[in-house]
Amino acid sequence: MRLDVKRGLTARSDRVKFVDQHPSEPWMLAALYNGNIHVWNLESQQLVKSFEVCDLPVRAAKFVARKNWVVSGSDDMMVRVFNYNTLERVHQFEAHSDYVRCIVVHPTQPFVLTSSGDDKALC
């Protein structure tokens, strides 16, 4: 299978663990091994937001555009919710007994599903 790449973003950063694209803004987030999240403008290729989540790798992160949030999951087993306009942490809770590896946000309902290596899913 061949992919036709229309546009690329090249930047120096720590290892990228997860990416997500905002549904209405020209933004892409990158969850990084160093515990940060970077938000890039895909049109200007500029870093527009950067914030520290924790001291451990952030393995998953998703935009929740209807709330102006980013939901993140990291190696400290925590799920954190940030307002991406103010960069303020809105919520935080321990979700698993192992690394949070994946996050899925329901498109219309207030549900977030997380998974880990601990044999449980959290909704």
pLDDT reported for residue 117: 82
In a domain, 11, yes or no: no
In a domain, 115, yes or no: yes
In a domain, 94, yes or no: yes
pLDDT reported for residue 98: 87
Q: Print the domain residue range for 102.
A: 16-122
Structural domain count, the chain: 1
- The whole-number mean pLDDT for each consecutive block of 10 residues of the chain, a chain of 123 residues, reads 65 82 96 97 94 97 97 96 97 90 92 85 60
- The beta-strand segments (E) located in 1-123 are 16-21, 27-32, 36-41, 46-52, 58-64, 69-74, 78-83, 89-94, 100-105, 112-116, 121-122
In a domain, 4, yes or no: no
In a domain, 2, yes or no: no
Check which CATH number belongs to the domain holding 40 and give it. Answer: 2.130.10.10
In a domain, 35, yes or no: yes
